[in-house]
Amino acid sequence: MSIPKVRKAVFPVGGLGTRFLPATKAMPKEMLPVVDKPLIQYAVEEARAAGIEEFIFVTGRGKSAIEDHFDQSWELQEQLETKNKHQELAALGEWLPAAGAVAYTRQMEPLGLGHAVWCARNLVGDEPFAVLLADDLVLSQTACLKQMTDAYAEAGGNIVAVMDVPREHTNRYGILEPGETSGSLVQVKGLVEKPAPEVAPSTLSIIGRYILQPEVFSQLEKGERGAGNEIQLTDALAAQIGTDPFHGLRFEGERFDCGDKAGFLRANIAFALEREELRDDVQAFINNFANNS
């Protein structure tokens, strides 16, 4: 049986971003810029690089800036055209999804990641889909989700992006109980959401990239609460183990936790150093600062 293509991606963007207050008092945390692009744009571009055709945003109150960002800005375009700023004009729109490819739905209560994904059920329908958390930014030669869709085309089922974390940090993540390893794929025998370090089955952590089968909605429909009294996506996936193939992918690249201030700053430095027009100035500043501190 052929493995159906992953055409749709869900972006849960309803969170409040309290760790970045006061910057996020009036601006969605997903609009925080890394160099010159907001986090959510990096996530959408990654999805496009993986062949995603439909983009589903699960939003909340105060997120209208995200909708505006993924829309035409005729007044700004006219100003740029008038001033012959062709480079800026191209940069403004070349990354926009096609008309009709973007949809929005509301998560009316902050009940966790699992609940946010469940809110997208009617837009996803009965087909496999991806989930991308904009807080997790991955710098890699091949887009992280593209690595995952390539692996999915061979293995099918559910696939999550995974990396090893310090054992003292297992209580921040969904942690795998790993099975057999084949190349970069690790069989998932079990999942535990935010286990204490002393009882964690491994240090192999899920980051914010998923390829999921639509059956997960049936599990999320039950509304069962887990860690933090929230509806956890990890718990719903754990309940499906044994019904579909389930693997973790040790992706190529470096992940930055941009939901954390230090991680966000590291991401800005790393992505700036990847830019040819910025690299020398940024490196010179780093060297000068290190020598004088």
Q: Compute CA 10 distance to the chain's CA centroid, rounded to the nearest angstrom.
A: 9
For 88-141, give the secondary structure using H, E and C.
HHHHHHCCCCCCCCEEEEECCCCCCHHHHHHCCHHHHCCCCEEEECCCEEEECC
Q: Which residues are within 8 A (CB) of 198 and not within 5 positions of it... i.e. 6 or more apart?
A: none
Look at residue 193 in the predicted model and tell me its pLDDT: 86
Spatial separation of the C-alpha atoms in residues 217 and 125, rounded to whole Å: 10
CA torsion 281-141-143-168 (nearest 10°) is: -80
Spatial separation of the C-alpha atoms in residues 211 and 152, rounded to whole Å: 8
Mapping DSSP to helix (H, G, I), strand (E, B) and coil, where does residue 264 land? helix
Copy the structure tokens of residue 249: 């992918």
What is the pTM for the complete model shown?
0.93
The one-character DSSP state at 108 is -
According to DSSP H, which parts of 196-232 are helical?
216-220
Q: Which of 249, 245, 182, 248 is nearest to 1 (CA)?
A: 245
Contact 10, 59 (CB under 8 A): no
Task: Please report how many Cα atoms fall inside a 13 Å half-sphere around the Cα of residue 245, on the Cβ side.
Answer: 16
Mapping DSSP to helix (H, G, I), strand (E, B) and coil, where does residue 184 land? coil
Spatial separation of the C-alpha atoms in residues 166 and 156, rounded to whole Å: 29
Domain 8-259 has CATH 3.90.550.10: yes
Look at residue 48 in the predicted model and tell me its pLDDT: 95
Contact 108, 179 (CB under 8 A): no
Spatial separation of the C-alpha atoms in residues 219 and 240, rounded to whole Å: 8
Copy the structure tokens of residue 154: 């061979």
Look at residue 81 in the predicted model and tell me its pLDDT: 82
- Could you read off the pLDDT of 212-233 as tens digits, one per residue? 999 999 999 987 887 777 888 9
Spans of the chain below 50 pLDDT:
none
Strands (E), 140-286: 158-164, 174-182, 185-193, 204-212, 246-250, 254-257
Look at residue 229 in the predicted model and tell me its pLDDT: 76
What is the CB neighbour count within 10 angstroms for residue 107? 23
- Could you read off the pLDDT of 127-177 as tens digits, one per residue? 999 999 999 999 999 999 999 999 999 999 999 999 999 999 999 888 999
Q: Which residue has the tokens 């089955």?
A: 201
Copy the structure tokens of residue 120: 């997208």
Mapping DSSP to helix (H, G, I), strand (E, B) and coil, where does residue 29 land? helix
- The residue type found at 256 is F
Parse the chain into domains and list their residue ranges. Answer: 8-259, 264-293
Q: Which residues are within 8 A (CB) of 253 and not within 5 positions of it... i.e. 6 or more apart?
A: 138, 139, 140, 141, 142, 144
Look at residue 107 in the predicted model and tell me its pLDDT: 92
